[in-house]
Amino acid sequence: MLNRVILASCLALWIGSFTLAVDTEDYMARALQLMSETPLIDGHNDLPWQLRNQFNNQLNKVDLNTLATTHTNIPKIKAGRLGAEFWSAYVPCATQYKDAVRQTLEQIDVIHRMCQKYPDSFMFATSSEDIMEAFKMNKTASLIGVEGGHSIDSSLGTLRMMYQLGVRYLTLTHSCNTPWADNWLVDTGSVPSEHHGLSPFGKQLIVEMNRLGMLIDLAHVTLEVMNQVLDTSKAPVVFSHSSAYAVCPNKRNVPDDVLMRVKETQGIVMVNFYSEYVSCSKTAKLSDVTDHFDHIKKVAGASIIGFGGDYDGVNGVPEDLEDVSKFPSLVAELLRRGWTDEDVKAALGNNLLRVMRQVEKVRDSMNSTSPDDVPITYEDVQNPCRTSFGYPNIGSAHSLSTLAPLLTLALQAWITLMA
């Protein structure tokens, strides 16, 4: 009798595990089918920074087919069914007031060269139409996002030139205040506010980004900046790699009231996979990431959700989401949790495509508006590495200020000589 009970228990366990395996395979098959119909658009990947960090952008010394020291390479991209990627042109805050513009241009250059070196895998893209064209060709549409307002050195002209080079979003701050916007660390209390959100020039910048058709990325900014941009922008905004604050109360994440405002303005929050923003600890699981998707959907609907992995920009990713090849596992988990095909397709790419099309529509509606050529005030950007050319009445003062120490040195030399 005992043997029969044991046999029945073992049989039940085997049937249960077999059913679970079949269900898992079904969800994965369905996930892959949906990903073949709608491009997975990821909002943020730092592979270009790893190319600088590991190889000083010497792309000729790198083979992205075999590179094994990053979350991202071409075989992993193919396995992950990555339809489009916003490659991050990121340089650290330490470059601010120094060589940020040069270094950012070099990151833009390496993204262009990456597309040129691997034309069978990547297609450079700057529009919603380009994304769909690349998807039809079974290539990964490659867009550029500049991560950090310090990269434009408080210059609308630099912003415009970066747009001409293909940049399609600007993250307003990284982890340092700019002369016109506060960064997210202000909300932690570790950094003082300098602008109470955006300065007047910061608000100018938002309008100019609308005119250009550049996505405004609110990852890395303060709550005050989030709300001020939502008040100002005519176009929907993006959070390229941020998660839900209610699930993990890290200031890099988005609180529920802002999620509702994003819904009202038809923007998008692209969920970050960094463990500390997912579980507020050093470790996390795929299910923890899915909790963020579920929460955002519950609060504001599936129409504002996207994927913002942050691969190669973080040092801790969740179990079962170890690299870009794992995207299908997350899609399968959404389906297991009851997400409809329509909801999944919205999160995969349809939401971001809608946002891009609306940004492009706002741009087209402003095509008769002249470029804003009013510069930031010199007092807001004055520093030892910046000249004052072009600012009336400052050049002469600047010349006198440099003349004074020369006169002092000459006087000291004369006194020494006379002695």
> 174, 195, 292, 295: which one is catalytic?
174
pLDDT one-digit tens code per residue, 162-195 = 999 999 999 999 999 999 999 999 999 999 999 9
Predicted local confidence at residue 171, as pLDDT: 99
87 Cβ neighbours under 8 A, 6+ residues apart? 45, 47, 48, 111, 114, 142, 143, 144, 145
Predicted local confidence at residue 397, as pLDDT: 44
> 130, 147, 153, 217: which one is catalytic?
147
> 42, 44, 85, 333: which one is catalytic?
44
For residue 364, the surrounding DSSP H or E stretch is helix 351-365
CB atoms within 10 A of CB 324: 27
Q: Is CATH 3.30.70.260 what the domain over 19-376 is classified as, yes or no?
A: no
46 is catalytic: yes
241 is catalytic: yes
What tens-digit pLDDT sequence spans the chain (419 residues)? 656 666 666 555 665 554 555 588 999 999 999 999 999 999 999 999 999 999 999 999 999 999 999 999 999 999 999 999 999 999 999 999 999 999 999 999 999 999 999 999 999 999 999 999 999 999 999 999 999 999 999 999 999 999 999 999 999 999 999 999 999 999 999 999 999 999 999 999 999 999 999 999 999 999 999 999 999 999 999 999 999 999 999 999 999 999 999 999 999 999 999 999 999 999 999 999 999 999 999 999 999 999 999 999 999 999 999 999 999 999 999 999 999 999 999 999 999 999 999 999 999 999 999 999 999 999 999 999 999 999 987 754 444 444 444 445 555 655 555 55
DSSP states of 307-345:
E---BTS-S---BT-SSGGGHHHHHHHHHHTT--HHHHH
Predicted local confidence at residue 419, as pLDDT: 54
Predicted local confidence at residue 58, as pLDDT: 98
Predicted local confidence at residue 94, as pLDDT: 98
Residue 177 phi, psi (nearest 5)? -65, 145
Tokens 């995969």, residue located? 348
Q: Classify burial at 92, counting beta carbons within 10 Å of its beta carbon; exposed 0-12, middle 13-18, buried 19 or more.
A: middle
Predicted local confidence at residue 242, as pLDDT: 98
44 is catalytic: yes
> 195, 220, 292, 295: which one is catalytic?
220
**Burial letters 373-384, b for 16+ CB under 10 A, else e:** eebbeeebbeee
Q: Compute the distance between CA of residue 353 and CA of residue 43 in angstroms, rounded to an integer.
A: 12
> 71, 150, 195, 241: which one is catalytic?
241
26 is catalytic: no
Predicted local confidence at residue 150, as pLDDT: 98
> 310, 312, 323, 343: which one is catalytic?
310
197 Cβ neighbours under 8 A, 6+ residues apart? 181, 182, 222, 224, 225, 227, 228
> 42, 46, 85, 288: which one is catalytic?
46
